[in-house]
């Protein structure tokens, strides 16, 4: 379980995700009651990270992770070091470490915005 001090949302490693090609329907998208995921180019991605856990009975929901047969979905408690992060040329959907422009907190993201989710939700 992750600390309540940091943001809680999943990360999908694009190099692992196959969009549940064998079933025809991405399990994470079908399962998530909060609409956190969307599809892009045949793969699921985290479109609305701030929605994660909002409607779930637990504060830190991670029920979608075991549904992924490719183990492409991970949560903050799974990140113990940068060795887990995908390597690449910094393309879209790749994680990058950045600093929030407002509060100065460092965090990992695959979004173009340099505002952490806490500061973004206050706007």
CATH number at residue 31: 3.30.70.20
Residue with the two structure tokens 């701030």: 50
Spell out a b/e string for 28-44, using b for 16 or more CB atoms within 10 Å of the CB, else e.
bbeebeeebbeeeeebb
Is residue 2 pLDDT above 70, yes or no?
A: no
Same domain membership, residue 121 and residue 72: no
Q: Based on the domain organization, do 28 and 50 belong to the same domain?
A: yes
- Tell me: the pLDDT tens digits for 27-47? 999 988 888 999 998 999 999
Which structural domain range is residue 34 located in? 7-79
**Are residues 102 and 64 both part of a single domain?**
no
Q: Are residues 16 and 66 in the same domain?
A: yes
**Residue 1 covered by a domain:** no
> How high does pLDDT run on average in the chain?
75
Q: Does 70 lie in the same domain as 40?
A: yes
Q: What is the pLDDT of residue 72?
A: 92
Q: Are residues 42 and 65 in the same domain?
A: yes
Give the range among 5-14, 42-51, 60-69 with minimum mean pLDDT: 5-14
Domain count, the chain: 2
Q: Is residue 56 part of a domain?
A: yes
Q: Tell me: do 16 and 35 sit in the same domain.
A: yes
* Placement of tokens 């699921």 in the chain: 44
| Model pTM score | 0.56
């Amino acid at each position: 379980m992750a600390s309540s001090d940091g943001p809680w949302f999943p990360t999908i490693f694009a190099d692992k995700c196959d969009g549940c090609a064998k079933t025809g329907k991405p399990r994470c998208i079908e399962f998530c009651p909060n609409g956190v995921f969307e599809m892009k180019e045949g793969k699921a991605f985290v479109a609305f990270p701030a929605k994660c856990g909002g409607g779930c009975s637990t504060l830190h929901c991670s029920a979608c992770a075991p549904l992924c047969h490719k183990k492409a979905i991970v949560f903050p408690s799974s990140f113990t070091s940068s060795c887990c992060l995908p390597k690449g040329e910094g393309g879209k959907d790749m994680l990058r470490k950045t600093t929030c422009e407002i509060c100065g907190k460092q965090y990992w993201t695959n979004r173009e915005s340099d505002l952490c989710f806490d500061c973004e939700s206050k706007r």
